[in-house]
Amino acid sequence: MESKRQQKFAGIIQEDLAAIFQREGMNYLPNTLVTITKVRVTPDLAIARVFLSFFNNANSQLSLATVKQHASEIRYKLGARIKDNARIVPQLEFFIDDTSEYVERMDKIFDKISKEDRQPDTEEGE
């Protein structure tokens, strides 16, 4: 369970990273919209796990690798934005947030189930 302090710090990081990706994202990933879906911070606030979602993109793994290559530059820009709110700038670890893919997959499964012929309920004692 995250403390209030962790949640507040994660919120600050999420907002500032969103602004960084909105302004600078085209430099890293042209024609791709990057969304920060979630940020989790360790109790000592030293590591921030950032979950990203990529839109208008064919290869999420390649995009994630590109973001990871620019991680130190992104961390530097984050540090410039949060210097008044934090003593240290956390290390950034980036991950793909596949929640939307999971939901899409589950929707397809439920659609398939609902389209299958239903077997009539059998009465007990027949």
List C-alpha distances in Å: 72 to 78, 104, 119, 122.
10, 33, 58, 64
DSSP E strands, 32-115: 33-41, 47-55, 91-96
Report pLDDT for 107. Answer: 81
Question: How far apart, in whole angstroms, are the C-alpha atoms of residue 98 and residue 123?
Answer: 43
Any domain includes 83: yes
Any domain includes 98: yes
Report pLDDT for 113. Answer: 85
> Residue 66 — φ and ψ, nearest 5°?
-65, -45
The pTM of this model reads 0.77
Question: How far apart, in whole angstroms, are the C-alpha atoms of residue 101 and residue 93?
Answer: 21
Residue 118 has pLDDT above 80, yes or no: no
The helix-helix angle for 71-82 and 4-28 (nearest 10°) equals: 130
| Confidence band, pLDDT 50/70/90 cuts, at residue 92 | very high
Any domain includes 87: yes
Any domain includes 125: no
Give the rounded distance of the alpha carbon of 22 from its chain centre: 15
The per-residue pLDDT for range 35-58, each reduced to its tens digit, is 899 999 999 999 999 999 888 887
**Higher-pLDDT residue of 24, 41:** 41
> Number of folded domains in the chain?
1
| Confidence band, pLDDT 50/70/90 cuts, at residue 117 | low
Domain of 56, CATH number, reads: 3.30.300.20
The per-residue pLDDT for range 9-19, each reduced to its tens digit, is 999 999 999 99
Any domain includes 120: no
Domain boundaries, position 98: 4-115
| Paired strand residues for 47 | 91
Report the percentage of the chain scoring pLDDT > 90: 47
| Confidence band, pLDDT 50/70/90 cuts, at residue 122 | low
Any domain includes 88: yes
Report pLDDT for 27. Answer: 86
Report pLDDT for 120. Answer: 59
Strands laid side by side in the 47-55 sheet = 33-41, 47-55, 91-96
DSSP letter (8 states) at residue 58: S
Any domain includes 97: yes
Any domain includes 26: yes
